[in-house]
Structures are given as C-alpha cells and as structure tokens.
Amino acid sequence: MAKDKKLVTEITSMDEDFAQWYTDICKKAELIEYTSVKGCMVIRPYGYAIWENIQRILDTTFKETGHENVCMPMFIPESLLQKEKDHVEGFAPEVAWVTHGGNEKLEDRLCVRPTSETLFCEHYSNIIHSYRDLPKLYNQWVSVVRWEKTTRPFLRSREFLWQEGHTIHATAEEAIEETERMLNVYADFCEKSLAMPVVKGKKTESDKFAGAVSTYAIEALMHDGKALQAGTSHYFGDGFAKAFGIEYTDKENKRVNPHQTSWGVTTRLIGAVIMTHGDNSGLVLPPAVAPVQVVIVPIAQHKEGVLDKANELLERLKKAGVRVKLDDTDNSPGWKFAEYEMKGVPLRVEIGPRDIEENKCIIASRWNGEKADFSLDELESAVAQKLQEAHDGMYNKALENRRNRTYACTTIDEINKALEEKGDGFIKAMWCGDEACEDEVKEKTGVGSRCIPFEQEHLSDVCVCCGKPAKHMVYWGKAY
C-alpha cells in the first residue's frame, strides 16, 4: 500500500518544472490519455465529467439569455471558406483538408471546421428575409480542428471541444450589446463557477479574430504568472453579411445587411482550472464543476457499524443534492486520501468507530488542507458551508496571486526589471495605440498585449515604448 500511495502522489513539483507538473496532473488525475493521433487526446471520464458540468452551467445560462442550440456540418467547402477575405487568410493555413470520400477524389475539397462563421452565414442567407426573422441567437457544442504545430493537453490541441455562439441582429447596437453581454456571461461563469478571477477587455487590432471588427476577451493569470485567454466574444459588423449576401427587408421596406457576433469558450478552461488552483498534491477543483464534491472515506471500515454509518452519510448528502461518493474499496485510508487529493475532490469526510461513538465526523478541505470535527447532526449544513468556503477561499487565493503578480510599469526597463525580480505576471502599462510599439514591447521584454481592459487606470501620460501620448492602459503578459 505504501508503494501504491507513492505511485499516485509522485508528480513533479510545480516549483521545479511547471510544465511537467501540469502534464503529470493531466495524466495522474486521469483527465486525459495520449493517442496515436498526434496532437489529439482522449478526454477520460473524470476529465469529461468536468466538461459536462461546465456545459450544463453555461448551457443553462445561454438558454436563459434566449439562445437556441443548433448543429452545423463539421465540413466547410473550400469555396465557402474563401468568401470572407480576412477570415480565410487567418484560418486556411491551419485547417485539416479532406480530399477523398471513400475512393473518390473530391472536386471541392472540404476543411474540417476550425470555427463555423462561414456555415452560419450560409444558413442565415437561406433563412433570413425580413426584420421579423431577426435576431437569431444560436449556439452549438461541437469540436473543431486547428492544425497546431506544438500541442499541450487542453491548452492547445489539434482537436478541441468548445461551444460557439453565433448571433445575427438588425442593428449594430444590438450586436455590440450581445458581444458585451456574452463576455460578461463568461466572466461571471469563470468567477462564480471556476473561482477564477478574469480581466475583461478588448483585444488590440493585431490580435483580433480573423474577420472581426472587434474582439473582446477575458484574460486570467495562471499560478506561474503566465496569462491565459479564457474566452472571446467577437463583433463582426456587417462584413460577413456583405461577403455572404445576407440581407433583410426592414420596416421601411429597404434591403439592409444585418450585424453579427460570435463567442466561444473551450476545454482550455479545464487547463485554466488546473493551473489556477492545482498544487503539488495534484488537482484542486472548484466545487461547482467538481464531478465529485465530497468523498466519504471510512476509517477502520472492517469494524462493525462503520460502513453502515458511511452509507447513511452518503444517502443524506445525496438527498441534499451533493455530488458525493463513498470509497469502500479495500485500499488503505492513506491511499484513498492521496488519490482524492490528486483528483482534487473539494471535501473529504472521514468517519471511523470513534467518530461514530462521539456522533461526529472529520471534514477535510482540499484547497487549504484544513481538517475539523463536525457533529453528524449538522452534516448537510457543514458540507454546504465548507463547499462555499472552498469556492470563496480558492477565488481569493487566485485573486491574491494575480495582485502579487501584477506590475504597473512606465518604462521598458521597469518591465524587464519587474519580470526579472518578481517573475512572470501581468504588466500594466500605457500604450499609444501604434502596432509598432506593441511589437517593440514584445521584442524587448517578451510580453505581448493581452487586452485593453474595460477598467482603465491612468498610470502615465505617455506610451511605455515611444513616449508619445498614450491612448490606453494595456495588460501585457506571456501567454499560453
């Protein structure tokens, strides 16, 4: 058993090698397994169950905000992809091409969707005729393919799961409002369900989605000080509508182009959860998306009454709506402790003969390692309270990490000094709005622009790079 325990918990320390620590967790917590398809992975039951929870919560919110799910084909004919110039330039170099169906060569080759704007546009052009047909608020849960050179589980893979929202509106105002609404939905979800603080902002011109007028994003800071783009929301204006000939008859009987948006989050969010909350014992899951929120571990389970009592607690917590599991296998308690720590189960309830005698149990919290006794009479309320504490504690811890790793700088030298002395993090610095300066900052410091945050601060009058008048405060960082 001692050997088994060691095997389970043997992962690389995050301080030693953060990338290897990350990969170790993906494998040892049984989130993924590699395959012979380069850059693609198996999402194992425990990993997929996290995604199912993310889906359930987001899908409910999408429906509450008036969206309907649809399903588009996974293929896009090359001729269709080429209709919007910026879009095809951005995506064509990284798509997978289907050239043969069975033994026959295709006349128009098909790409496996890297994103579905072109398919939605074709569909809109078929079904939208009058102002009465607007808006359409659509979403789909599918996988997409982008032929990346270097890949990492969840963070960057050739195939990944996502949802892509696509909406079309009568006016630009409505479409912009939708773009912002969905960015807020994502930010709320990250904070309330993933316990992960995010910065909301606008991408610079160079970092926009291919074909968008403007791209909004939420940016999170990982434990190692690197930034991760956790979700994006795009406003397209009427560019796609013009390229695809989508028109409607307005109330004055004029033919007008409608305005579009799209927005998406991916299985990358699971990678964000690992790198925001994980520690050297493994995964730490936010209660809202944890497949198992509470694991009951019986102590001296062979003793009379222990398993009966453990089963009683199981039923009580199930009834209270908690996702709970009882581990009554013959592994030792120590082995079980290590396993569920690796898997990031938020709470562990220990119950043994002495606890039963004293009508109590021990509740251990994964996120901070604290253990405390609770009367069995108050089991349900204690668990609810501890789960809430876990969420709040994890959120505050992540926020604290971000605060400690956010550096306001007014010169290139200050940026380099901050990164060198304090390690990677968010740099806050002013910018003139010139792409040349953006490139120069990246070249001289290694950090790229992450976003122009909605919450602006005035750090200085001039650009951190060229000294000309500043237009925005920008968050900069090294990115996943």
At residue 265's C-alpha, the angle toward residues 259 and 266, to 5°, is 135
> Between residues 37 and 436, which has the closer beta carbon with respect to a second copy?
37
Question: Is position 7 an interface residue for a second copy (rule: CB under 8 A)?
Answer: no
Q: How many residues bind a second copy (CB under 8 A)?
A: 54
178's tokens: 């939708």
Minimum CB–partner distance for residue 387 and a second copy (Å)? 22
Minimum CB–partner distance for residue 427 and a second copy (Å)? 32
Q: Which helix (H) or strand (E) holds 427?
A: strand 426-431
> Between residues 120 and 407, which has the closer beta carbon with respect to a second copy?
120
> Between residues 76 and 285, which has the closer beta carbon with respect to a second copy?
76
CA nearest neighbour of 263 among 52, 117, 155: 117
Q: Which of 21, 22, 48, 480 binds a second copy (CB under 8 A)?
A: 48
Q: Which of 57, 142, 307, 462 binds a second copy (CB under 8 A)?
A: 142
> Between residues 4 and 312, which has the closer beta carbon with respect to a second copy?
4
Per-residue binding string, a second copy, 64-83, x by CB under 8 A, is ----xxxxxxxxxx-xx---
- Scanning residues 23 to 42, which ones bind a second copy (CB under 8 A)? 33-37, 40-42
Minimum CB–partner distance for residue 141 and a second copy (Å)? 9
| Interatomic CA distance for residues 245 and 257, integer angstroms | 8
Secondary structure string (H, E, C) spanning 260-314 = EEEEEEECHHHHHHHHHHCECCECCCCCCCCCCCEEEEECCCCCCCHHHHHHHHH
| Interatomic CA distance for residues 254 and 48, integer angstroms | 49
Long-range CB contacts (within 8 A, 24+) of 213-219 = 213/237, 213/239, 214/179, 216/179, 216/180, 216/183, 216/451, 217/183, 217/450, 217/451, 218/183, 218/186, 218/187, 218/190, 219/450, 219/451, 219/475, 219/477
Stretch that binds a second copy, among 120-128, 212-220, 302-310, 314-322 (CB under 8 A): 120-128
Distance of CA 43 to the CA centre of its chain: 15
Per-residue binding string, a second copy, 218-257, x by CB under 8 A, is ----------------------------------------
Minimum CB–partner distance for residue 320 and a second copy (Å)? 19
Per the DSSP assignment, residues forming a β-bridge with 351 are 298
Question: Is position 90 an interface residue for a second copy (rule: CB under 8 A)?
Answer: no
Question: Is position 436 an interface residue for a second copy (rule: CB under 8 A)?
Answer: no
Question: Is position 1 an interface residue for a second copy (rule: CB under 8 A)?
Answer: no
Residues engaged in binding a second copy (CB under 8 A): 33-37, 40-45, 48-49, 51-52, 68-77, 79-80, 92-103, 110, 112, 119, 122-123, 126-127, 138, 142-143, 145, 147, 158-159, 161
